[in-house]
Structure 1
Amino acid sequence: MGHALCTCSRGTVTINNKRYLLIHRLGEGGFSYVDLVEGLHDGHFYALKRIICHDKDDRQDAMHEVDMHLLFDHPNILPLCAHAMVERGSKHEAWLLLPYLKRGTLWQEVEALRDKGVFMPEERILAILHGICRGLQTIHNKGYAHRDLKPTNVLLDDDDQPLLMDLGSMNHARIEVLNSRQAMVIQDWAAQRCTISYRAPELFTVERECIIDERTDIWSLGCILYCMMFGEGPYDMIFQKGDSVALAVQNHLIVPQNTRYSPALEHLLSSTMVVNPQERPYIANVICQLEAIQPTPSGQDTTRI
Structure 2
Amino acid sequence: MGGALCICSRGSITIENKRYFFVHKLGEGGFSYVDLVEGVQDGRFYALKRILCHDREDRKEAQHEVEMHRLFNHPNVLPLVAHSIIEKGPKWEAWLLLPFVKGGTLWNQVEVLRDRNSFLSEDRIVHILHGICLGLKAIHDRGYAHRDLKPTNVLLEDDDRPLLMDLGSMNQARMEVKDSRQAMAVQDWAAQRCTISYRAPELFNVSSDCVIDERTDIWSLGCVLFSMMFGEGPYDMIFQKGDSVALAVQNNITVPANERYSQGLQTLLCSMMVVNSQERPFISTIISHVEALQPIVEGQATTRI
Q: TM above 0.5, one fold?
A: yes
> TM-score, length-normalised on structure 2?
0.98
Aligned to 2:10: 10
Q: Give the Cα separation in 1 of the matches to 2:117 and 2:10.
A: 44
Match of 1:233 in 2: 233
Match of 2:297 among 295, 298, 301: 295
Cα distance in 2 between the residues matched to 1:63 and 1:108:
28
C-alpha distance in 1, partners of 2:66/2:202? 27
Tell me the amino acid that sits aligned with residue 301 of structure 2: S
For 1:286 and 1:69, the matched residues in 2 are separated by: 24
- What is the CA distance between 1:300 and its match in structure 2? 5.3
Q: Secondary structure at the match of 1:295?
A: helix
Residue 176 (structure 1) aligned with residue 176 (structure 2):
yes
Partners of 1:237 and 1:245 in 2: CA distance: 10
1:246 maps to amino acid? A
Using the alignment, how far apart are the partners of 1:263 and 1:159 within structure 2? 26
Q: Using the alignment, how far apart are the partners of 1:301 and 1:28 within structure 2?
A: 32
Coordinate RMSD, CA, aligned? 0.9
Task: Give TM-score scaled by structure 1 length.
Answer: 0.98
Q: Which runs of 5+ in 2 are unaligned?
A: none
Which residue identity lines up with residue 92 of structure 1 in the other structure? W
Deviation at residue 301 of structure 1 after TM alignment: 4.7
Query: Aligned letter for 1:161?
Result: R
Q: Residues of 1 paired with 2:6 and 2:230: CA distance?
A: 46
- The residue number in structure 2 matching 1:98 is 98
In structure 2, the residue matched to 1:122 is: 122
Q: Which whole-Å CA distance do the structure 2 matches of 1:232 and 1:150 have between them?
A: 11
1:69 maps to 2:69: yes
d(CA) in 2 for partners of 1:18, 1:56: 27
Note the alpha carbon deviations across 1:199-218, whole angstroms, 9 max, x for none.
00000000000000000000
Moved more, 42-51 or 289-298: 289-298
Q: How does 1:182-221 map to 2 (within 5 A)?
A: 182-221=182-221
Cα drift, residue 299 of structure 1: 3.8
* Structure-1 separation of matches of 2:225 and 2:3: 39
Show CA shifts across 1:189-233 (max 9, x none). 000000000000000000000000000000000000000000000
**C-alpha distance in structure 1 between counterparts of 2:277 and 2:119, whole Å:** 30
- Structure 1 partner of 2:282: 282
CA distance in 2, matches of 1:234, 1:300: 26
Q: Which residue of 2 aligns with 1:58?
A: 58
CA–CA distance in structure 2, aligned partners of residues 120 and 298 of structure 1:
14
